[in-house]
Structure 1
Amino acid sequence: MSYQQFQPDPRLSAFIDAYWTADGVGTAGSVQKILPDGCVDILVNIGEDFFTDDHFTFKNEQAYLVGTMTRFKYSRMLPGSVILGIRFKPGGFAAFFKFDSLHNLTDQTIPFDQKLIPEVFALNSNFINNLDIFFLSRLNPTNTSLTLITETISAYHGQIQVTELAKRYCITTRQLERVFKQHIGVSPKELINISRFQFAMEKIRQNQSTRSLMQIAFECGYYDHAHLSNEIKKYSGDVPSFF
């Protein structure tokens, strides 16, 4: 499988993590494991149909909205599969589109109204610029505090308490819970855990047997080796030694 990632216009960087493409060139129905990252994605299938492990089929020339994931899933891409993705940072989707509550979309994939995205069924040399123009025209951030809060979680790699976030940004924990579920799809605690998991995965993959898993666990804010292993297993389906 071939995967490429592209950065959006700097004016969009607080809300869009990346544009990306993936295709099944050189594969024969290979399976890819997708891990939780706290993000919402729009996927546009510009190649042949492909499907996920929960039997959801991505049809040709159709767009889909993928909610925030709290568990891993598998995707099977075929040689003719080509996907364009827009990955929104936590809370970033709400800066461009209105949606009643992303909590209803957690761990779900639904068809997305193609009228709400530009024509991208051919990946020409201008597709990044076209996406930038489109999203800049729709940019309407309505909750700057949410952006600051999610950026704080990211900066701390998930090593911060919900109560500390609420205190720092002068909001009650109940209000924080409601806003997160509406605009991100998960609770503040869940996003903190996913952020810490992502940081731990990065540390484990970079480790050249110079540090023990206990050391990595402490660096990432886990109580001990068992706590780290349980969280890695929960979000990836594998034990730390697998990576």
Structure 2
Amino acid sequence: MEYKIIKPCTALAPYIHSFWELKGEDNDKQWERNFPDGCAGLVVNIGDTCATDNGSVRMDFGKTYVVGAMTSFKDSFIDADAHLLGVCLKPGVFRNFYNYVTQNEITDQTIQLEKRYSFDLDKVIKNPVDYLNTFFVNRLQKRNEHLQTIIEAIDHAKGQLSIDEIARMNFTTVRQLERTFKAETGISPKAYSCIIRFQHALSRIKNSDPNESLFDIALECGYYDHAHLTNEIKRNTGLVPSQL
């Protein structure tokens, strides 16, 4: 499997993590697993039909799909004829580009977009990066700075702020915070914090010193003990730490 990441143009950097391209290779015939990261995205299939969402959804050639924020892992089947092009949006920016639905309506789902919202297949195939940059720059709407401030605070704290702290820091109520955050990101601020904390722990495990214990990493990342961390990893990845 060949996987390539391309950075968007400067104007889109505050909104889009990356564009990506996945191509199957001759020996590919396997399920690939993605872990939750709090981000929504878009995918256009320019290869053979591809099964995703643990086999429950089939992405057809030429169709564009929106992928809601995930609360657990998701498997997609990649074979030699797979060819996908995708956009990884930053959390809470979907409605900077689409007046489509509130994000909590598509959490954990992959949904085919109507033609008027979809990418132009011919232009995608001809010059994907230039086309995607132009497509999103032309659709760009005003940013929700208040929401981005909240997301950045959670990211900076690596998911270790309480919801009460976040609400107090942003001069809002917990109820209002949860309602707005869920509508714009698809998940609650608590769920997003848990995902960011998990992602930090995952990075620490993958880059840990051989002498570091899982217990030490768990405490550093805000978990009660190594069992708590192990349970969170298993819930988000379907794996235990030793399998990562």
TM-score by length of 2: 0.94
Identity of aligned residues (%): 37
1:95 paired to 2:96: yes
Structure 2 counterpart SS, 1:141: coil
Task: Note closer, same or farther for the CA distance 1:116–1:237 as it changes in structure 2 (3 Å cut).
Answer: same
Structure 2 counterpart SS, 1:43: strand
Deviation digits for residues 124-179 of structure 1, max 9, x if unmatched? 67421221122111111342111121122122211211111111111111111111
Q: Is the 8 A contact 1:46 1:122 kept in 2?
A: no
The answer for the alignment partner of 2:5 in structure 1 is 5
The answer for the alignment partner of 1:68 in structure 2 is 69
What pairs up with 1:1-40 in 2 under 5 angstroms?
1-40=1-40
The Cα RMSD (Å) is 1.6
The answer for the alignment partner of 1:173 in structure 2 is 174
Distance 2:224 2:26 in 1: 43
Task: Measure how far apart 1:189 and its partner are.
Answer: 0.2
The answer for the alignment partner of 2:86 in structure 1 is 85
Task: Measure how far apart 1:55 and its partner are.
Answer: 2.5
Q: Is the 8 A contact 1:166 1:173 kept in 2?
A: yes
Structure 2 counterpart SS, 1:158: coil
Task: Note closer, same or farther for the CA distance 1:226–1:122 as it changes in structure 2 (3 Å cut).
Answer: same
Deviation digits for residues 44-83 of structure 1, max 9, x if unmatched? 0011111022321110111111111101121111211100
Task: Measure how far apart 1:113 and its partner are.
Answer: 2.3
Task: Note closer, same or farther for the CA distance 1:7–1:126 as it changes in structure 2 (3 Å cut).
Answer: same
Task: Note closer, same or farther for the CA distance 1:197–1:156 as it changes in structure 2 (3 Å cut).
Answer: same
Distance 1:36 1:151 in 2: 17
Q: Which runs of 5+ in 1 are unaligned?
A: none
Q: Is the 8 A contact 1:27 1:77 kept in 2?
A: no
Deviation digits for residues 85-137 of structure 1, max 9, x if unmatched? 01111101111111332112111111112432442456567421221122111
Query: Partner letter of residue 219 of structure 2?
Result: F
Query: Partner letter of residue 104 of structure 1?
Result: E
Distance 2:60 2:121 in 1: 15
Q: Is the 8 A contact 1:4 1:22 kept in 2?
A: yes
What pairs up with 1:178-193 in 2 under 5 angstroms?
178-193=179-194
